[in-house]
Structures are given as C-alpha cells and as structure tokens.
Amino acid sequence: MGKRQPDDSRATRLGRARGSTVEAVVRAVVVRRESGRLGVLAADGVRAIGVSNFLQDHLDTLLAETTTVPAVNQFELHPTFQQAALSAKTRAHGIAVEAYSPLGRGTDLNAEAVTTLAQTHGATPAQIVLGWHLGVGNIVIPKSVNAHRLRENLAASEVTLSQDELDAITALESGVPIAPDPAEAAFTQMYSSG
C-alpha cells in the first residue's frame, strides 16, 4: 500500500470532499449559528466545546462563521505523524492540541531514537513518547486495557526530555497516518480503526 499524503495536502482536498462526518459537523454548527441556536449552549450551562478531527479548513470555517472557539481539537498525532501545521494553527487560535493515537498504536515505540532515550532515562518507550508529547505541549489520551501499562503511562509525567531529546523524537516524522483521512471518512470509520 502506498504512502498517504501528509496533513497539509489534506486540507486542500476539503473543497472536493464534502461527504465526511467532520464536514457535516462544521455545517451543522454554522446552521446553528444562522438559526440563532448556538446561544442554547450557554443557556444549557455548556462552558466549552471540544472538536475532533477538525483540519485547518474546518477550523477556518468554524471560526469565520461562528463566535464559537473550541477549547480543544483532538486529532491523530504521534512522532511519525505530527500534523505540525495543524497543531500550529490550532494553537494560534488558543485551542489546545489533544493527541489521539499518541503512541501510534504502539508502532512508534520501536523507533531507535525512542528506545535509545528509554535506556538513557531508565524509562519505557511509551513513557518516552508520552514525555515527548508533554514536552511539546500536547494533551495525550493513550489507550490501554492493561492496568500495569495504565500506571506506566501515567508515570510518564515524570519524564522530562531536553530540547535535543525532544528534537530527536520530532525528527521521526514520516507523514504517514494511521487513521482514515478526516476530510473523507465517516464517523464510524474514524473509530472502527481505533
């Protein structure tokens, strides 16, 4: 299977890909604004909203068409697929970046830079990857069904990487995603792969 395009080219395809769930969500928010129903959020006591899989054009539409600024944008982000431009755009609007599949579903844990730093710090590869996320300012939601790994992942907050070490992990970018393209996928496709 050939490599998929990195995120920057994804955004340019949004104009042609109008059938995805994220596109539908953006349109629904705009419709709520046009019908005056966005105010219902505040009236119901909702203080903040989060979005997921919003690419750059989705954020542009939301912010141009409504006064709703999400508190957080959750999207695929791990050392080999960092979506740097989307992260920068998200942060520039004061929106927190939340990484899903933060371990690359385990596939990023075998990279040499990760295993070398794990030895240096007396940490596990997962803790190094999570330490990298925290070091560059990402919120992380690693998934594990294993209690030992849950504790291990929580303890990653004690791992502090130097700038050079952060850069060594950042250099693992390959532009190859795991999840389907949010510009084209339906909701069920985004989660069925998780």
Position among 11, 20, 95, 100 found at the interface with ligand NAP (CB under 6 A): 100
The distance of closest approach from Cβ of residue 100 to ligand NAP in the complex, given in angstroms and rounded to an integer, is 3
Q: Which is nearer to ligand NAP, 31 or 141 (CB)?
A: 141
- Please tell me the count of residues contacting ligand NAP according to CB under 6 A: 26
C-alpha 76: how far from its chain's center? 4
Closest-CA residue to 72 (of 38, 45, 99, 46): 99
SS3 97: strand
Q: Per-residue x/- mask for ligand NAP, residues 48 to 67, rule CB under 6 A? A: ----xx--------------
Query: Which residues ranging from 105 to 124 are in contact with ligand NAP (CB under 6 A)?
Result: 105-106, 109, 124
Closer to ligand NAP by CB, 9 or 110: give it: 110
**Helix crossing, 163-170 with 112-121: angle to 10°?**
150
Alpha-carbon distances, residue 191 vs 1, 159, 182 (angstroms): 21, 30, 11
Alpha-carbon distance values, 75 to 43, 101, 128, 141, 162 (Å): 28, 8, 20, 11, 25
Alpha helical stretches, state H, 13-162: 21-34, 39-43, 56-65, 84-92, 112-121, 125-136, 147-154
Tell me if 142 sits within 8 A of 126, measured CB to CB: yes
Q: Which of residues 115-174 bind ligand NAP (CB under 6 A)?
A: 124, 126, 141-146, 149, 152-153
| Only segment of 22-30, 39-47, 57-65, 97-105 that touches ligand NAP (CB under 6 A) | 97-105
Are 73 and 98 spatial neighbours (Cβ–Cβ below 8 Å)?
Answer: yes
Interface region with ligand NAP, contact rule CB under 6 A, candidates 38-46, 83-91, 99-107, 114-122: 99-107
Which residue in the set 73, 74, 87, 90 belongs to the binding site for ligand NAP (CB under 6 A)?
74
| Binding region for ligand NAP (CB under 6 A) | 52-53, 74, 100-106, 109, 124, 126, 141-146, 149, 152-153, 179, 190-191, 194
